[in-house]
């Protein structure tokens, strides 16, 4: 009587014998079961886990995109080639949280030509149009009218006294204050969303903020407001007061002076909107009022002899030349630029599927100016 093991050996011997008989008597069977053919089917020239997913699995159209209107707007980023990794971080979040649905174009600006590496990595992140612009030299570099010895001494003194960014960013602040909106690539747009490298967007944004600006006649939108460092702007408000005295007709009725001053404009409380995030109407900066205002400030030389930032300059301009109702707090846009963040609270947090900690919110901290903004409408 045969044991079970002998049955298994007998079956295997019969199968192997049949395989060899068929291999020699049927050519097609022999080719199909050859080691080389099996190997080629397995690898196909690459490991199986690297085989591309067939095109038919990709959904090319964004089926979640809302139909209907779009504003005449662009997302604007001022960046250098060395900022690439930070740009990618910001842009990827912008796409995932907002722009995959709405498809607004990007405009990148730089005082030097963007490298092919920069362009390639950026354009891979979006299906939207992307344009790259070179900043005109006269819009970026220190003008000849500036006394460099005086400017250099001011920078040295600020660094010595540990003034934050005391030796940096003069050209950038002046450019953002008075020239970015003049770049030819922005000529065709009405609205813009300023985005900087290495920022965070915490919440899904399922509506179009540009349409809020357009339909509600808003001209400036912000998420964070705070006090400026006094040491960077010692004579800025004096220059502002001179302009107001010389051009009272350019100041808007029902303006937002109460956000800037606690005594009717006699002094500046240093409050400003943090301009590393802003959604704005380019026509505000293109207006006769603001253009004259910037020219007045530029002639004072404070961008170089002190360190006038574009945040207080933009904030003062918006507060003076727009109505207070035209300045909008985007409460439901979760945002962080180190070291401050706005994290939506309550229903806005859950509705936006925000991933920030609601307890880490700068809105009403002692150094925030949001309470002053609220007070204008109380």
Catalytic residues: 278
Q: Contact 193/78 with Cβ under 8 angstroms?
A: no
Q: Contact 313/177 with Cβ under 8 angstroms?
A: yes
Considering only CA atoms, give the Rg of the chain.
31
Residue 261 CB burial class (10 angstroms; 0-12, 13-18, ≥19): buried
- Contacts for 93 with CB less than 8 Å, ≥ 6 apart: 199, 200, 201
CA distance 139 to 171: 9
DSSP states of 302-345 as a string? Answer: HHHHS---HHHHHHHHHHHHS-GGGEEE-TT--EEETTEEE---
Q: Contact 352/203 with Cβ under 8 angstroms?
A: yes
Q: What angle do CA 83, 196, 86 make, to 5 degrees?
A: 35
Q: Contact 338/274 with Cβ under 8 angstroms?
A: no
Distances (CA, A) of 55 to 52, 59, 124, 168: 9, 9, 17, 49
CA distance 63 to 50: 28
């Amino acid at each position: 009587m045969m044991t079970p093991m002998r049955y298994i050996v007998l079956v295997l011997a019969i199968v192997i014998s049949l395989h060899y008989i068929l291999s020699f008597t049927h050519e097609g069977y022999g080719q199909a079961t050859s080691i080389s053919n099996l190997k080629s089917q397995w690898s196909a020239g690459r490991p199986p886990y690297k085989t591309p997913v067939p095109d038919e699995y990709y959904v090319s159209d964004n089926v979640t995109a809302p139909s209907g209107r779009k504003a005449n707007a662009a997302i604007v980023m001022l960046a250098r080639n060395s900022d690439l990794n930070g740009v990618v971080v910001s842009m990827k979040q912008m796409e995932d949280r907002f722009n995959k649905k709405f498809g607004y174009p990007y405009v990148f600006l730089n005082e030097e030509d963007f490298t092919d590496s920069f362009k390639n990595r950026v354009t891979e992140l979006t299906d939207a149009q992307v344009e790259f612009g070179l900043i005109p030299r006269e819009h970026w570099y220190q003008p000849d009218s500036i006394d460099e010895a005086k400017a250099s001494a001011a920078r040295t003194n600020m660094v010595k006294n540990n003034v934050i960014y005391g030796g940096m960013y003069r050209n950038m602040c002046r450019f953002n204050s008075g020239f970015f909106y003049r770049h030819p690539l922005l000529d065709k747009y009405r609205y813009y969303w300023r985005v900087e490298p290495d920022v965070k967007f915490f919440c899904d944004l399922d509506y179009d903020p540009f349409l809020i600006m357009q339909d509600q006649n808003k001209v400036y939108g912000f998420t964070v407001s705070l006090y400026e460092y006094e040491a960077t702007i010692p004579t800025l408000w004096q220059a502002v007061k001179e302009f107001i005295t010389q051009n009272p007709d350019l100041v808007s009725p029902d303006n937002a002076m109460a956000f800037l001053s606690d005594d009717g404009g006699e002094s500046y409380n240093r409050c400003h909107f943090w301009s590393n995030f802003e959604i704005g109407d380019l026509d505000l900066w293109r207006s006769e009022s603001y253009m004259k205002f910037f020219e007045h400030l530029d002639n004072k030389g404070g961008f170089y002899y002190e360190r006038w930032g574009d945040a207080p300059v933009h904030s003062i301009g918006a507060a003076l030349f727009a109505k207070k109702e035209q300045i909008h707090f985007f409460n439901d846009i979760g945002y962080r630029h180190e070291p401050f963040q706005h994290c939506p609270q309550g229903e806005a947090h859950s509705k936006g599927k925000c991933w920030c900690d609601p307890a880490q919110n700068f809105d009403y901290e002692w150094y925030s100016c949001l309470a002053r903004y609220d007070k204008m409408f109380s």
